[in-house]
A and B are shown apart, each in its own frame.
Chain A
Amino acid sequence: MIRIDLQRRVARYRWLGIGLGLALAFAAFAGALYTLDRRVPLYSFWNRSSAALPAPPAIPVAIEPTPAIVAVPPVTMAVDLPVSIQAAGGLLVLVAQMTKSVDVRALTIEANGVFVIDGQLDAAVELIQLLELLQPHASQLRGTKWSAEDSDQVHGRITGKLVSPAGGAQVALVATEALQLFAVVAGQAAGNGLQSVVITSPQSTATSDGLYVYQADLTAVGSVAAVASFVQSLFVYDARIRMGRLTVVRSKVADPVSHITLSLDAVVRESP
């Protein structure tokens, strides 16, 4: 019979080792002090020295006025970090709510959190209402709308940036975990109403700190609501995978569904 015990704490041995090491170091230091004290009476030597030394003279210090705070321009990172699932999911839920008033034709969320929503607006809806709806999850919001001279259709475009796109720290995984996670994500996509789900084998890229980024692209077909539901279902994996880029596009206006491409990143501690 195979019997393993996964509840055993390996760390106990590590703490035991650290404790033992500290105790040995303290004993060696105390031993050295004792040996030195036998040759030179350190306590009395210290007392004599401290009594013989004159008190240091007071040095006048000129207090300079505090310089005015100068605004520092924001630092732009050379490489965009992938977006956290939570950050993107929050926006997608709102976009799914917007579909009553906007016929979303294209939606992209970039790795740096910048997003663009294109669509046809309901004539009764004011753009400002949509911007207010998105406000909790977005900053730098801009909206514009236009219509062709010979048409009543109103088109709109909203751009913005996700609030806190990077989210919390990303956990480095073992390669097996990452591969299984990508497979689970594909299963979640199908389970949330997306169709024709395909996920590519992950491509790995070494990072400067000895880790690897595994990137897999998921393609599927479905509605904006299904995408929102799918991304929400990934919240539990937020510390382990990030979104590189999401595009939701309808190739034809009459298409009932959109084509979805989602690139997912996981940080892995092993070489492939």
Chain B
Amino acid sequence: MYVVQLSRREQRVSLTRCTVVRLERALTMPESLADDEARILLVEALRVLHRGGIDVARPYFALSGTTCFIKRRFVLPQADGATREHLLWEAGQLLGADIDDYGVDTLVTARHGFFIAVRRQILDLYGVLCHQAGLGKPGFDMASFALCNALENSGTGGVGVEVVLQDDGYSGRAVLLRDGIYEGEHSWSLEESGVTDGIARLLRAELDENEAVPRVWLAGPGDTVNGGAGFDGIDHVVEIDPFAGLLVADSVRRTLETARVPLRAYTVALGLAVRGLADA
């Protein structure tokens, strides 16, 4: 569990804490939230954080996996409001009578419209988790959106076609951006296929034949792409420094230097923290 705490004073954002909590055993999220024993482990982990000085008004969690999804549809030109209505209607068509069981929102970009849905039961289970751990009401973001927000916050990227690759060590997620705007994503189990195959599948689905990807941004703790080796046809592979541009306290800097965790591992957590600051 990767944790980042940011604070803002007079428009200056600083990194006040960041840490990694290792659990006794690997948990599959969000399914483990429904398992009492696993939830006890998670509650204890959150309490450890709280005792260790991580004190936030509202913790944010990344959503991914089997209980949420993003669907892409077309946009109605010059009509954001109508596009949103249309996307909600599409969500209603897809989810039918179960729509009340889902939290649904939309994202409209210049080229596409997306509706995002997550099972409300999962949000409630996160709420229970935070309540048991003595934390405030949780906030949520999709893991892929957190990656985009972290990249944007680091002040890098945003030109042409780019891929952000999140490698957790057991699963991969590739997010395609065009001029810094979210376009699509693909996630897969690393036991099922490698990183190169996963990216290739996304690019085949999303890009024209003559389009090239000038840059892949690496995120996540996994080391299957250590050093950027193994990407055919992509020359520029860069690790994200999610803390670029932030004020970093000396104690945190020392922690980061001594910990055996690459900075890119905190990318999703940083994206969530940035989102939390924006909501505050």
**A237 and B65 alpha carbons, distance in the complex (Å):** 13
Cβ-based interface call for B218 (8 A): no
B69 touching A2 by the CB < 8 A rule? no
A174 touching B69 by the CB < 8 A rule? yes
A2 touching B107 by the CB < 8 A rule? yes
**A188 and B170 alpha carbons, distance in the complex (Å):** 11
B274 touching A1 by the CB < 8 A rule? yes
Q: Give A228 Cβ to nearest chain B Cβ, in Å.
A: 17
B189 touching A6 by the CB < 8 A rule? no
**CB < 8 Å A-B pair total:** 99
Cβ-based interface call for A177 (8 A): yes
Given contacts A174-B94, A270-B94, are A6 and B100 in contact (CB under 8 A)? no
Size of the chain A interface, CB-CB below 8 angstroms: 33
Cβ-based interface call for B123 (8 A): yes
**A194 and B67 alpha carbons, distance in the complex (Å):** 25
Cβ-based interface call for A202 (8 A): no
Which residue from A4, A176, A197 sits with its C-beta under 8 Å from B107?
A: A4
Main secondary structure of the interface of B (DSSP, over half): mixed
**A171 and B121 alpha carbons, distance in the complex (Å):** 13
**A237 and B67 alpha carbons, distance in the complex (Å):** 11
Which residue from A6, A186, A240 sits with its C-beta under 8 Å from B116?
A: A6
B69 touching A191 by the CB < 8 A rule? no
Cβ-based interface call for B232 (8 A): no
Report chain A residues within 8 Å CB of B68. Answer: 6
Cβ-based interface call for A269 (8 A): yes
Report chain B residues within 8 Å CB of A32. Answer: none
Given contacts A1-B275, A174-B94, are A6 and B191 in contact (CB under 8 A)? no
Residues 230-271 of B at the A interface (beta carbon under 8 Å): none
Given contacts A2-B182, A3-B275, A4-B145, are A180 and B187 in contact (CB under 8 A)? yes
B96 touching A269 by the CB < 8 A rule? yes
Which residue from B69, B92, B103 sits with its C-beta under 8 Å from A7?
A: B103
A176 touching B69 by the CB < 8 A rule? yes
Residues 181-224 of B at the A interface (beta carbon under 8 Å): 182, 187-189, 191-192
**A100 and B118 alpha carbons, distance in the complex (Å):** 45
B148 touching A181 by the CB < 8 A rule? no
A6 touching B66 by the CB < 8 A rule? no
B105 touching A177 by the CB < 8 A rule? no
Given contacts A7-B123, A177-B69, are A1 and B278 in contact (CB under 8 A)? yes
Residues 150-187 of A at the B interface (beta carbon under 8 Å): 171-172, 174, 176-177, 180-181, 183-184, 186-187
Residues 82-127 of B at the A interface (beta carbon under 8 Å): 88, 91-92, 94-96, 98-100, 102-107, 116-118, 123
B103 touching A236 by the CB < 8 A rule? no
Which residue from A6, A186, A188 sits with its C-beta under 8 Å from B103?
A: A6
Residue of A nearest to B33 (CB): A236
**A34 and B75 alpha carbons, distance in the complex (Å):** 48
Which residue from A6, A172, A181 sits with its C-beta under 8 Å from B63?
A: A6
**A199 and B191 alpha carbons, distance in the complex (Å):** 11
Which residue from A1, A11, A199 sits with its C-beta under 8 Å from B99?
A: A11
Given A174-B94, A174-B95, A180-B66, 11 more pairs with CB closer than 8 A: A7-B140, A10-B99, A14-B99, A174-B117, A176-B69, A180-B187, A183-B189, A187-B171, A187-B189, A269-B94, A269-B95
- Top-7 shortest CB links A-B: A6-B103, A4-B105, A2-B145, A176-B69, A11-B100, A183-B189, A181-B66
A-B contact pairs, 8 of them (CB 8 A): A10-B102, A11-B100, A14-B99, A184-B31, A187-B171, A236-B31, A237-B66, A240-B66
